[in-house]
Amino acid sequence: MCVIGCGTMGEAIVGGLMRAGWLEPDRVVVTARRASVAERLHERLGVAATTDNLAACQGAQVVLVCLKPQRFAKILDNDAMREALAGKLLISIAAGVTLSSLAQWLPQTALIRAMPNTPCLIGEGMTVLGRRDAGPTAASDEQLALAKRIFDSVGVTAEVEPKLMDAVTSLNGSGPAFVYVMLEAMADGGVMMGLPRDVAVTIAAQVFRGAAGMVLDTDLHPAALKDQVTTPAGCTIAGILTMEDGRIRSVLARTIQEATKVAGSLG
């Protein structure tokens, strides 16, 4: 396996695979633009690291590409790379780079798009996968299972149709940032009412963690869980009505809509 452009996310994935015992250090090569960065990756991960993307791809059967969208064509759209990747599996985590674009550059490579998010760094990530269902670039069920295994090492995975990946980029990739804004705002409210800042942030963060766990573990609709907390004439319904006055549902839904539009323009 090789990881092209092994930045923060690539390092998290490699580390997760090794901690899970699914990848030995001598079975992976990572690349970086600068030799100094490659050397640091070698020291931290104990894996081979290089600035030579082509050589790394030639020696691997699975290639995880963690490049910025703007660098994809420069690295992948050439005959040498097409030859090196023919018949192999390439997994891209770049926002906005579609499977159609990848297929134009690499017509004989099995392709999977993946959109992880930053909680992968602590093993609590969400990664969504997309693949074509036919043609020479369609990944097999076995290759999809391999991709799922890779990202299961740093969290949870799901699969959607490729046409939905821009929405996934917004909801999943950008979603943590939107949550941080809400978390900070709730903590600010606690500070305004007298709580120390560190206590307010800890409470708000644990509230988000616990509430998310309730949704995932109970399979109840969020509205049903909300109603369990909302007693007649109580403080919770008073706060919820204030949120509704501020059109919070519409604002959050439109946030995802607008971020999705931008995601579609990145490739």
Structure tokens at 164: 């939905």
Q: CA-to-CA distance for 267 and 257, rounded, in angstroms?
A: 18
9 carries a ligand binding annotation: yes
264 carries a ligand binding annotation: no
66 carries a ligand binding annotation: no
Percentage helix, strand, coil for the chain under 3-state DSSP, each rounded to 5:
60, 15, 30
235 carries a ligand binding annotation: no
- Nearest of 102, 35, 100 to residue 63 by alpha carbon: 102
Q: Are 90 and 65 in contact (CB under 8 A)?
A: yes
172 carries a ligand binding annotation: no
115 carries a ligand binding annotation: no
The secondary structure of 98-147 as a DSSP string is: -HHHHHHH-TTSEEEEEE--GGGGGT-EEEEEE--SSSTTBPPHHHHHHH
120 carries a ligand binding annotation: no
Q: Binding site for NADP(+): what residues are annotated?
A: 4-9
Give the residue numbers of the binding site: 4-9, 53
Residues annotated in the binding site for NADPH, as ranges?
A: 53
